[in-house]
Amino acid sequence: GGAEGDGGGGESGGEFVREVEGVGRLLLSSRNPTGYQGVYAPKARAGTAKPFVAMLTASGVQRHIGWFRTAVEAAACYTRVRHALDARSQKASRSQPSARQMPPAAPPAASPPPGSEAGLFGPPAAAAPSDEPPLPMEVEEL
């Protein structure tokens, strides 16, 4: 919701949606035919219910975000994921101690004798009972 336009970007000759309510400014691309960073329209998917795909490359790995009905929906999802990853990366870099602050590495632990039951990380630990309900593992599709 909150976006205007047909979501086809430049292919239909219309203006690109630049901002979406709840997401903010979309990441535009003058080099991409869809007009949005990370959004593609493979010819093989033309005419399908969800012809637009959002893809993100992070740490040298290309990640599939999902298929969408419009380029604007794909761009909104791409923008949300990109901002979340950027925020997580910035938070991690602020919490990393510098080399001067890091304590010296501990010597490696002795390995267990061959044939012993202790694995790489020691014997398996029994799971502690928990009063917490399990976390839901659902992914919301746009």
CA 39 to CA 129: how far, in whole Å? 44
List phi, psi (to 5°) of 77: -65, -45
Contacts with 83 (C-beta within 8 Å, 6 or more apart), sequence order = 24
> What's the pTM?
0.55
Give the per-residue pLDDT at 102.
61
Per run of 10 residues, the mean pLDDT along the chain (length 142 residues) is: 43 65 87 94 94 92 94 94 86 68 62 54 53 52 48
CA 60 to CA 103: how far, in whole Å? 30
Give the per-residue pLDDT at 7.
43
